[in-house]
């Protein structure tokens, strides 16, 4: 019985040996590098009892695990279900989207634990990891999932693995320069994750440009149910974005504030997206592409400033603007990118990640500049 | 290429200007009102360090964020994925269900933050918000999602936004009267959320009664995959209901108890629902409508009393009864409502929310009346 | 209108009275037994304030609820959405998978609370329950869901309920013998849950062997969308497995460590699964069956040892090996089981649960044997 379900992965006829070899060799490399470098951080190590006594902690609940694990799981869902299903809207590429996203993310988090570990958690020749490292690895892979959105349907799994290797490396270098050398604050990663990921992906898709792709566009359309699957991705990204932006903020009020700001920004973004989607379409219909994507721009745009004293109404303003910018981008900018610059942006990541990420950087700079001792208290 | 995916939203031909205008003007109003009124509560504000010292808290983990954020996220999933996908069972209305639910909830939470804030968190001319306000706003919007279930497939997004505006307002007034003036305890919202939401929705659908709707019933049928999508909604509502009922309970044993009671009630409800579904159908088949809906009645019915000392076996009894009542309602009461009272209840919210909510109120009253100092300790 | 959606449940023509009777009588039995035996544990009881004072706890956050509830909800999702949707891959059996899984799990958790309670939480003639009991009940039901995978599509709901009754009973006895009498440590349940559940299910499917099942194989195939639904199950199991393995570990570093080890093992497992899936297929295509199942073997195999000082690279090794073993099992062992031993293993649970569970037991024994005072500190 010829089962149609493998069709999404059908083109990769010659990868019989290449994919297994790459996967196995790279996994062996991971094992060796983890063996040499990676150890449990103090809060995950069996010596934690001693550590606790030294730090005068009275309770196990002070372990960072309890501050961050629920947020980590939300971020985890965003990477694997959120990004994976968001890209299932193509009628012929549902498995490719979910399956390849699964593969690249599973490799990416291992390589990211190493790369980010060398830059940020390296001590006495070892990388010490805890739940915050897992979150950061997921973040880093998030930027790869974003880039994947631009080239969706055009690449083999091996190409994706190679891209992941390069992008995670570059991500970590870029992050190190921004956070450690330039001392930029970017807890929600508007710039480090979203803008970086988007421009990386757009560069790759420009390189892979194929002029005759247009002919295969009927394969690229969506069907009713593939669009509903994509809504699963959209909603999980939308709902858990407050966890994304607050996951690595400081304990206490900063995490609390990040979640509230993101919640407000996203709510406002939905209304302006629907408004402009209806306004810019013939007959005022709503376009599912906008609902699936532009509604999320508010989370991207508030990433940098979410943990700052942006205030709830500030978040509504940021969210409103980013929903408008993103929707307008889908209607006017994506066709322009394709026809003039030969950049085929399958999922429209320029509208969802690049532009809102830039807005996020600007808003973060303004909010930080507007910070006064009065607003933050003398300890802030 | 004419894409079929917008079909669910196809009727709204003349909303090109009306929907954008309503969305944009209302969002501007939200921004202005948030700017005037809404500020971060003490636990989300950058002055939290000082607050912490004043209240003699030794650790950041005492921030309400860590008590309630995981439950908040579960409730958030129930509102957007739970209610959204529960309503995708109609073959032609999957996007309308998920998309319009998304729109009305995103607007509703903003308006609810204001309305509930004025009633409950207003101090010195400002509304101070924290994670508990976000949960309450989600709760309030939950009652709108319930009402949406009655009129599913019969309204435009603008009508839904108008309904949301009115219902959130009325919800907050009703909640204020019940909780603050009559001092009713209703942590899980059996009455304030479910019964209120259901009767509001039934009133609206009575007003919108169209006698020829029956002819379009073939459009209203379900198909195999739309029913599976609906099961996603059902299961997320079912699984996270313990979080729903415990989300705003007092810290400590009350939250713990609410979760256990709800878990027990829901488990029992599944068995009695399946029993009566099979019993009342020809040939003993199970009806997906009952499995999708009546299995949830146990969560509704235990809402008021979950944080009380209802005990696990009490929860099993409440869950068992509500499953039976709800299933019988689907078989006998919904057709009666439509043929005699001209109330077209698309999702059967009378069976899932109105009646179990009333049961919940009665159970709550009995449990509260049965409370003795022995059961609760002298501090309870 | 003949709706196709009940087709998956269509064979059970004569269950009109049997299913209702079993459900109702058993639920009444549960109510009676809960009434006699089950009470709230100290941390869920209204006397918690007094308990807190006695134990010198200064904060409500010390309640076990806050240590374990987020993990409990993740486990809950794994049981109902994870296992439920993983089994929807059959084209004609989506509802049977999700619906019957729902029914058996809802009954199973009640019976498991009693059985496990008598063995582990029994004091002065009562069973005292808290969030840890809910997790253990979900674990126990997990082993029934695993067994269900072997007989998927071959049983009526009544047979499943009877199987649940027996399996939960036997599970609890087996667990008591292993954990309490033989003092085995098995926090993630590699042996107690996975290996036990798998061999139980394989025994049942051997008993139910029907030689002419092969003819109905076209009914058993998957279609594109049913495979995407199954991916929802796969991903939720994969993402939340760190919560599964850490849910009942000791507070503090043990929970933290379990999550990290499981995260690493699962990531490695994806790569080796993809490698072998591609290598063993004609033309190097990836097989969705492997991606849906074998990618999870890493979570099973690391269950016993996750809370030990397995180290991250040790987890990568365990995950890599289990992915290979599981994929090879799907290609060579499942056909062998069916043709030679007349064991029809619909979901291939021997490859996903039995063998990785055995690996888990062996790894756990090695890790425990390798434990030294140096690694764990003198208090470990």
CB contact under 8 A, C46 and B231: no
Considering only CB atoms, B46 lies closest to which of A228, A253, A267, namely: A253
Cβ pair C227:A70 closer than 8 A: no
Tokens found for residue C296: 């999870």
- Is B278 in contact with C46 (Cβ distance < 8 A)? no
CB contact under 8 A, B275 and C27: yes
Listed by number, the residues of chain A in 291-320 with a beta carbon closer than 8 Å to a beta carbon of chain B are 291, 295, 309, 311-313, 316-317, 320
Give the pair of three-digit tokens for residue A296: 């999320």
- Contacts B129 to A, Cβ<8 Å: 260, 312
Token pair of C166, please?
């027996």
Angle between helix C253-280 and C224-246 (nearest 10): 150
User: Which residues in chain C have Cβ-Cβ distances shorter than 8 Å to A73?
Assistant: 70, 74, 239-240, 242-243
User: Among A45-49, C109-113, C232-236, whose mean pLDDT is lowest?
Assistant: A45-49
Q: Which of A243, A256, A257 sits opposite B73 (nearest CB)?
A: A243
Q: For residue range C338-360, what is the model confidence (pLDDT) as tens digits?
A: 888 888 888 889 999 999 999 99
What percentage of chain C reaches a pLDDT higher than 70? 90
Q: What is the pLDDT of residue A377?
A: 59
**Res. B156 pLDDT band, cuts 50 70 90:** confident
Per CB-CB distance under 8 Å, the chain C contacts of B214 are none
**pLDDT of A218 over the 70 cut:** no
Q: Has residue A376 got a pLDDT over 70?
A: no
CA distance C42 to chain A (A): 19
| Residues 6 or more apart whose Cβ sits within 8 Å of residue A175 | A116, A119, A140, A192
CB within 8 Å of C45: residues ≥ 6 apart = B253, B257, B309, C39, C51
Residues of chain A in contact with residue C238, where contact means CB-CB under 8 angstroms, are 80, 102
The reported pLDDT for the residue numbered C220 is: 59
Q: Do C285 and A23 touch (CB under 8 A)?
A: no
Q: Name the residue of chain C whose CA is nearest to B287's CA.
A: C6
Least CA distance to A376: which residue of chain B? B46
- Quick check: B33 and A300 in contact, CB under 8 A? no
State the pLDDT at residue A144. 94
In chain C, what residues touch B243 (CB-CB under 8 Å)?
A: 73
Task: Check if C22 contacts A (Cβ < 8 Å).
Answer: no
Radius of gyration of chain A (CA): 21
- Which pLDDT score, from 0 to 100, does residue A2 have? 34
Say whether pTM exceeds 0.90.
Answer: yes
List the subunits that have 3+ CB pairs under 8 angstroms with B: A, C
Among all residues of chain C, which has the CA nearest to that of B279? C16
Of A17, A24, A69, the CB nearest to C70: A69
Which pLDDT band holds residue B210 (cuts at 50, 70, 90)?
A: confident
Q: Which of A16, A27, A88 sits opposite C279 (nearest CB)?
A: A16
- Hey, is the C-beta of B70 within 8 angstroms of any chain A C-beta? yes
Instruction: Look up residue C159 and give its two tokens.
Output: 């047979």
The alpha carbon of residue A112 is apart from the nearest alpha carbon of chain C, in Å, by: 12
Contact B34 A312 (CB under 8 A): yes
Please tell me the distance in Å from B14's CA to the nearest CA on chain C.
33
Spatial CA neighbour of C288 closest among C298, C279, C278: C278
- State how far residue A209 is from chain B, nearest Cα, in angstroms: 23
Tokens 């991903």 belong to which residue?
C235
3-state secondary structure of C94: helix
> How far apart are the C-alpha atoms of A347 and A334, rounded to whole Å?
10
Q: Which residue of C has its CA nearest to A21?
A: C275
Was domain B64-370 assigned CATH 1.10.3730.10? no
- Please report the pLDDT score of residue A51 as a whole number: 86
The residue-averaged pLDDT of C239-259 equals 93
* Residue C2 or C315, more confident: C315
Place C214 in a pLDDT band, splitting at 50, 70 and 90: low
Locate tokens 């024994």: which residue? C365
State how far the Cα of B177 lies from the Cα of B149, in Å rounded to an integer. Answer: 25
Q: Which pair of structure tokens corresponds to residue A156? A: 């083999």
Minimal CA separation from A286 to chain B, in Å: 7
Whether B211 and chain C come into contact, CB under 8 Å, resolves to no
B316 → closest Cβ in C31, C47, C63: C31
Closest Cβ–Cβ partner in B5, B14, B44 for A288: B5
CB nearest C274 (choices: A23, A80, A81): A23
Residues of chain B numbered 169-208 and touching chain C (CB < 8 Å): none
Q: Which two tokens stand for residue C174?
A: 């087996």
Cβ-defined contact of C69 to B74 (cutoff 8 Å):
no
Asked if the Cβ–Cβ distance from A102 to C379 is below 8 Å, we say no
Of B46, B70, B106, the CB nearest to A375: B46
CA pair distance B205, B216, nearest whole angstrom = 16
Inter-chain contacts counted by CB atoms under 8 A, chains A and B = 212
A214 touching C (Cβ < 8 Å): no
Q: By CA distance, what is A106's nearest residue in C?
A: C267
Nearest to B94 among A224, A272, A309 (CB): A224
* pLDDT for A11: 46
pLDDT at residue C187 tops 90: no
Tell me the chain C residues in contact with residue B85 when contact means C-beta distances shorter than 8 Å: none
Q: Which of A252, A255, A279, A283 to mutate to test the interface with B (most CBs of B within 10 A)?
A: A252
User: So what's the pLDDT on residue B337?
Assistant: 85
Cβ atoms B289, B345 nearer than 8 A: no
B residues 338..377 contacting C (CB < 8 A): 375-377
Nearest-by-CA chain C residue for A22: C275
Contact call for residues C355 and A73 (beta carbons, < 8 A): no
Contact A70 B65 (CB under 8 A): no
Q: In C, residues 84-113, which contact A (CB 8 Å cutoff)?
A: none
pLDDT at A14 over 70: no
Whole-number Å distance between alpha carbons of C196 and C178: 11
| Chains touching C (3+ CB pairs < 8 Å) | A, B
Parse chain A into domains and list their residue ranges.
64-370
> Residue A209 — very low, low, confident or very high, per pLDDT cuts 50/70/90?
confident
Q: Which pLDDT score, from 0 to 100, does residue B166 have?
A: 94
> CA–CA separation, B24 vs B3, rounded Å?
27
A-C contacts at Cβ under 8 angstroms: 212
Q: How confident is the model at residue C260 (pLDDT cuts 50, 70, 90)?
A: very high
Residues B23-61 have pLDDT tens digits of: 999 999 999 999 999 999 999 998 888 888 888 888 899
Residue A260's nearest CA partner among B39, C279, B372 is B39
Nearest C-alpha of chain C: how many angstroms from A116?
15
Taking Cα atoms as reference points, which of B137, B249, B124 lies closest to residue B188? B249
User: Chain B closest CA to C309's CA: distance in Å?
Assistant: 27
pLDDT of residue B216: 52
pLDDT in tens, A293-331: 999 999 999 998 888 888 999 999 999 999 999 999 999
Q: What's the pLDDT band for B377 if we cut at 50, 70, 90? A: low
**Between chains, do A263 and B134 touch, taking CB under 8 Å as contact?**
yes
Spatial distance between the Cα atoms of B86 and B98, rounded to a whole number of angstroms: 9
| Whole-number percent of chain A with pLDDT over 70 | 90
Determine whether the interchain pair C268/A131 forms a contact, defined as Cβ–Cβ distance below 8 Å: no
**A60-113: pLDDT as tens digits:** 999 999 999 999 999 999 999 999 998 887 777 778 888 999 999 999 999 999
Our measurement of the distance from residue C350's CA atom to the centroid of its chain's CA atoms, rounded to an integer in Å, reads 13
Chain A environment of B101 (Cβ under 8 Å) = none
Nearest CA of chain C to the CA of A70: how many Å?
6
Q: Is the pLDDT of residue A284 over 90?
A: no
């Amino acid at each position: 019985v010829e089962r149609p379900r493998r069709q999404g992965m059908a083109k990769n006829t010659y990868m019989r040996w290449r994919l297994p070899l790459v996967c196995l060799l790279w996994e062996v490399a991971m094992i060796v590098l983890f063996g040499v470098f990676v150890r449990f951080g103090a809060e995950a190590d069996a010596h934690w009892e001693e550590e606790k006594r030294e730090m005068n902690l009275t309770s196990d609940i002070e372990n960072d695990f309890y501050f961050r694990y629920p947020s980590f799981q939300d971020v985890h869902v965003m990477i694997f279900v959120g990004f994976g299903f968001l890209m299932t809207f193509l009628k012929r590429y549902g498995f490719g989207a979910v399956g390849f996203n699964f593969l690249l993310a599973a490799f990416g988090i291992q390589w990211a634990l190493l790369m980010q570990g060398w830059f940020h958690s390296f001590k006495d020749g070892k990388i010490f990891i805890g739940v915050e490292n897992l979150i950061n690895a997921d973040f880093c892979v998030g930027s790869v999932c974003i880039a994947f959105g631009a080239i969706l349907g055009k690449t083999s799994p091996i190409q994706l693995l190679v891209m992941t290797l390069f992008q995670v490396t570059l991500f970590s270098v870029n992050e190190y320069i921004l956070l450690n050398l330039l001392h930029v604050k970017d807890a929600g990663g508007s710039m480090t994750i979203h803008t970086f990921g988007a421009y990386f992906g757009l560069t790759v898709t420009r390189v892979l440009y194929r002029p005759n792709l247009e002919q295969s566009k009927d394969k690229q359309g969506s069907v009713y149910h593939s669009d509903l699957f994509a809504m699963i991705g959209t909603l999980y990204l939308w709902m858990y974005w407050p966890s994304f932006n607050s996951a690595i903020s400081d304990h206490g009020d900063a995490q609390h504030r990040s979640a509230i700001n993101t919640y407000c920004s996203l709510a406002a973004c939905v209304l302006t997206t629907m408004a402009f989607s209806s306004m810019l379409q013939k007959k005022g219909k709503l376009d599912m592409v906008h609902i699936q994507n532009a509604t999320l721009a508010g989370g991207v745009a508030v990433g940098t400033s979410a943990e700052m004293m942006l205030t709830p109404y500030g978040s509504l303003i940021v969210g409103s603007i980013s929903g408008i910018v993103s929707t307008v981008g889908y209607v006017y900018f994506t066709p322009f990118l394709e026809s003039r610059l030969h950049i085929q942006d399958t999922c429209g990541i320029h509208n969802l990640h690049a532009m809102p990420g830039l807005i996020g950087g600007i808003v973060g700079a303004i909010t930080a500049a507007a910070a006064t001792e009065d607003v933050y208290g003398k300890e802030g």
